[in-house]
Every structure is written in structure tokens, then in C-alpha cells.
Amino acid sequence: MPLTLRLDRLHLTLQAAFGWTNSHLFEFLAGEGRWGIPDPDGGFGPQPIDARKTRLSNIVHETGAKTIHYLYDFGDSWDHVIKLEKWFDNTTTEGLPLLLEAAGRCPPEDVGGASGYTEYLDAIRDPTHPEHEQMRLWGPEQFDPNVVDRKALEAAVNALSEIWKPRRAPRVQNRRQAPIKWASERRLRS
């Protein structure tokens, strides 16, 4: 992904790559900084720096961090470690972000964090488990944590690269034609 990617878009990229539904709040943490979407009412303590106004490169340059934590769903507390292994200056951003690898399936939304996910897996794997039927019906159909739908994840990430594709600047018309066009439009309105 490009270092120039805004953090709100990095969040959406991670959601697409994981197969989650962007249903909860998120924060990025590096050094002493916190970036997320500020609460407009300010009722939940110190506000994070606005992720819509910060780029990944800002975190790298301002904090020197090569490891960033991505916290998703404050109730389930999914904490992901993002390691910046290598970056290149002056590279194209066309076709980015790009899914390179996918292994395993993401836990279902609202499963209850790591411990809830463990309980969920125990229940769906064991037909004699007291919550087997309830969990089987609650979660995704035929859930297997080892099977990933790479094509679906890749399509979701690729869709973001299309949405965020840099727009070409409008073509500048010939300066000699501009006054004539303006004059003709002016006459039509009069």
C-alpha cells in the first residue's frame, strides 16, 4: 500500500483484506499517538487525531515508528500489529492497495474477541457442545477458520484501488477558444 494512504483508507483496506464489514470504531497507535475518528460530542475522553487528515507517512515521519497497532472494535478489542518492513520513495500508487497474501479466515464480527472466538470455534467443531446449534446458526454458514476466499478478498481490495485511483486533471482548453466559448455562453443566458 502507498505510504501516502490516509489512515481512514488504511482502515478500509484492512477491513477489505480481512473480510470484515467496517461495523466498529478503530484506532491506530504508534509511539504516544492515537489516530481514529474523533467523537463529535467528545464524550469518551481524550480524542484521537483525525485519521481522515493523517497519512501513513505522517506517522512514520513524526514518530519514527516502524510498528503500528491497529485496534478494531473496542468491545472485542482486536489488536493487530502492522510492521513497516520496507518502503520506496517516488513510486506509483496506481493499482494500490494490493493484496499480496491471504492465509486463514477472519473471525466473524462481534464474536467476542479472542476468547469469544475460541469458544465459538469449540462450539461449532463439537456437535455435542451445548451451544453448537446456536453458534452454527449465528455465524457464517460452514465456517472454517482455515479456508479463505482469496478471490473475494482480492476483489474487495482491488475495488478500493479503483475508487481511490487518482483523478486526471481536467483538460485545459486552448486559451484562444476560451473567450469565444465564454462569450457564446453569455449570449445564450442574456
pLDDT confidence of residue 90: 64
CA trace torsion 128, 131, 133, 137 (10° rounding) = -150
Distance CA 24, CA 126 (A): 30
Q: Which residue has the cell 515508528?
A: 65
pTM of the predicted model, to two decimals? 0.82
Q: Which residues contact 53 (CB under 8 A, 6 or more apart)?
A: 6
pLDDT at 168: 61
Report the pLDDT averaged over residues 137-155.
93
Beta bridge partners of 49: 35
pLDDT at 85: 84
Segment 167-182 mean pLDDT: 51
